[in-house]
Amino acid sequence: MSRQLLLEIIPAQGPTLAATVMGANAAAISAVTGLERGRALYLWGPPGSGRSHLLRAIAGSRSTLLLGAGTSASAMMALATNPTLEKAAEVIAVDDIQELDEPQQAAVFALYNRWRELASTAAAFALVVTGDRAPLSMSLREDLRTRLGWDLVFRLEPLSDTDKSEALVTYAKQQGLPLSSDVLDWMLTHYSRDIRQLFALIDALDRYSLSKHRTITVPLVRLMLADREFLQS
């Protein structure tokens, strides 16, 4: 319960491309960082591989419209047919395409067609889509599935424990928060494998250590997770 409360009440800050740990995904992150108008990018991988993280990082650095299952099909189609689409955003991103229903898929199909139509013009935009499988393995309408492979395609791999440690140390340093190796080891061994929850834990520890005027140690981490008054404050 404490872990879930922590994730809901103290979400991790927005990711950035500069602070993203590459792990085995150097080529994909390089493609994301250097993405130009007129290019399309499909990123796929299992849960926890950083698909949504990269989209949020793009949105934090460039003019981006982020679409997903929570976006209505009518809104998506209105965007695809907007005569001044290039003024809406530099990048249009669609997260977790496998979760879209048939009308939403039809709208993304229209977005791909519009992307190709404008790709070599001054009105070009970049299109980034994520999913949980390779294009040909997706359970989507056939004409949309083939379009996922029209340009760049990269598989994302989850971070190793070493990569997660590096990501956590980098994130903590950004907050001006030193983390000892024993705290890092405890977090990875006893708390969560989900990097999003681990980032949220660091944010919470920053607040808690300041409120208690104590250095961050493993006992302090345990004390905080047992402190329901703090988690619900």
Which structure tokens are listed for 15?
Answer: 């990711």
pLDDT band for position 140 (50/70/90)?
very high
Instruction: DSSP letter for 185, please.
Output: H
CA–CA separation, 144 vs 153, rounded Å? 14
Q: Phi and psi at residue 152, in whole multiples of 5°?
A: -85, 135
How deeply is 55 buried, as exposed, middle or buried, from its count of CB atoms within 10 A (0-12, 13-18, 19+)? buried
Q: Which of 93-97, 100-104, 173-177 shows the lowest mean pLDDT across its residues?
A: 173-177
Residues 87-99, mean pLDDT to the nearest whole number: 92
Residues contacting residue 172 through CB under 8 Å, at least 6 positions apart = 178, 179, 202
Write out the H or E segment, with its range, that includes residue 155: strand 152-155
Q: What percent of the chain is predicted at pLDDT more than 90?
A: 43
Q: What kind and span of H or E run contains 7? A: helix 2-9
Q: Please list the residues that pair with 40 across neighbouring strands.
A: 127
Residue 67: what pLDDT? 94
Please give the average per-residue pLDDT across 155-168, as a whole number.
85
Instruction: Domain ranges for the chain, please list them.
Output: 2-10+160-231, 26-155
Candidates 115, 40, 39, 103; CA nearest to 75 is 103
What is d(CA 119, CA 107) in angstroms, rounded to the nearest whole number? 18
Does 11 score more than 50 pLDDT?
no
pLDDT value at residue 4: 44
- What is the distance of C-alpha 11 from the center of its chain? 13
Q: Which tokens hold the place of 51? A: 């698909």
Q: Is 157 exposed, middle or buried (0-12, 13-18, 19+ CB in 10 A)?
A: middle
Structure tokens at 102: 């048939």
pLDDT, average across residues 58-71:
89
Residue 157 pLDDT: 86
Tokens of 6: 């922590």
d(CA 126, CA 141): 22
List all residues 6 or more positions away from 178 whose beta carbon is below 8 Å from its beta carbon.
172, 216
Contact criterion met (CB below 8 Å) for 76 and 51: no
Mean pLDDT over 119-145 rounds to 93
pTM as predicted: 0.75
Asked whether residue 80 carries a pLDDT value surpassing 80, the answer given is yes
pLDDT of residue 17: 61
**3-state secondary structure at position 27:** helix
Q: What pLDDT does residue 2 have?
A: 44
Q: How high is the pLDDT of residue 16?
A: 64
> Kind and range of the H or E element at 92?
strand 91-94
Residue with tokens 């988690």, as numbered in its chain: 231
The phi, psi pair for 126, rounded to 5°, reads -95, 145
Domain 26-155 sits in CATH at 3.40.50.300
Listed ranges 51-60, 142-151, 153-162; the one with the highest mean pLDDT: 142-151
